Amino acid sequence: MKPVVVRKIARIEAAFAMKLGKLGTATVHEAIGRRGLMKPYMRPIWPGAAVAGPAVTVLAHPGDNWMLHVAVEQCRKGDVMVVACSADNSDGMFGDVLATTFMARGIVGLVLDAGCRDIRNLAEMKYPVWSRAISAKGTIKATLGSVNIPVVCAGVAVHPGDVIVADDDGVVVVPYGEAKAAVTAGEAREAMETEKKKRLAKGELTLDIDNMREPLQKLGLTYVDDLSEVK
């Protein structure tokens, strides 16, 4: 595919993105069938960061952050920029200069399958970034990539407009067409877990709440008082 910038993408309503963000990555990941979780090397550059919003996707090339500058223009308030690279790379593609324009445009966060730098300044700015590495190594602006095309970021396919949910536990991608159903499933799961925690706090065991004893017995788990009883 030749380098291209797609200017129009579908976006989920902000209210649904906010609900997914409130549920968090672990609950959302479970709610959509344990799919969409990026590789665990994608970590927030400062603890406590959390975002949710439609993806504006970028395909960049190793050591070149030119297309991030191009993609800023295509972002709307509430978007999350997702940057994939055409080959593995950990160079510092993003820092406090770009963060300043991201914040001015209302881009709520960045998911970057490459390196990030200016970490102290970004933490002070409270700008949320998830990256595969921290590196002071700079980048150039010489190679064309694309904006708002399907990409693979940290092992997960991301289409423009998919909802990104990111927090301390990682980054989850919710397909655009599944976002509303994910909210319903996620809220149901959260309600179930809330009730379970109430029972656990009273001393009940997950073995009983989740009916684990019978399947454990069927698989041959045996309880003995002493190892001498084991034949």
The b-or-e profile of 23-62 (16+ CB within 10 A means b, else e) is bbbbbbbbbbeeebbbeeebbbbbeebbbbbbbbbbbbbe
The answer to whether residue 6 is domain-embedded is no
CA separation for the pair 143, 69 (Å, rounded): 12
The answer to whether residue 169 is domain-embedded is yes
The answer to whether residue 203 is domain-embedded is yes
Tokens standing for 67? Answer: 């297309």
For residues 79 and 159, membership in a common domain is answered with: yes
pLDDT digits (tens, 9 = 90+) for 176-189: 999 999 999 999 99
For residues 108 and 217, membership in a common domain is answered with: no
CATH number at residue 62: 3.50.30.40
For residues 130 and 206, membership in a common domain is answered with: no
User: How much is the average pLDDT of 53-79?
Assistant: 98
Closest CA to 93 of 75, 73, 74, 111: 111
User: How much is the average pLDDT of 117-123?
Assistant: 98
The answer to whether residue 1 is domain-embedded is no
User: How much is the average pLDDT of 76-93?
Assistant: 97
User: Pairing between strand 51-60 and 80-85?
Assistant: parallel
Question: What residue has token string 């959509």?
Answer: 32
User: So what's the pLDDT on residue 90?
Assistant: 97
The answer to whether residue 4 is domain-embedded is no
For residues 215 and 103, membership in a common domain is answered with: no
Beta strands per DSSP E along the chain: 43-44, 51-60, 80-85, 92-94, 109-116, 129-134, 146-147, 151-153, 156-158, 163-167, 170-174
For residues 190 and 134, membership in a common domain is answered with: no
User: So what's the pLDDT on residue 140?
Assistant: 95
The answer to whether residue 216 is domain-embedded is yes
For residues 165 and 61, membership in a common domain is answered with: yes
For residues 65 and 150, membership in a common domain is answered with: yes
Show the domain range for 195.
186-229
For residues 108 and 168, membership in a common domain is answered with: yes
The answer to whether residue 72 is domain-embedded is yes
For residues 131 and 31, membership in a common domain is answered with: yes
Q: Please, which pLDDT band fits residue 227 given cuts at 50, 70 and 90? A: confident
Beta strands per DSSP E along 5-138: 43-44, 51-60, 80-85, 92-94, 109-116, 129-134
Measured in degrees and rounded to the nearest 5, phi and psi for residue 63 equal: 75, 15
Helix (H, G, I), strand (E, B), or coil: what is residue 225?
coil
Tally of domains within the chain? 2
For residues 45 and 139, membership in a common domain is answered with: yes
Measured in degrees and rounded to the nearest 5, phi and psi for residue 41 equal: -75, -10
The answer to whether residue 80 is domain-embedded is yes
pLDDT at 229 over 90: no
Residue type, 95: G
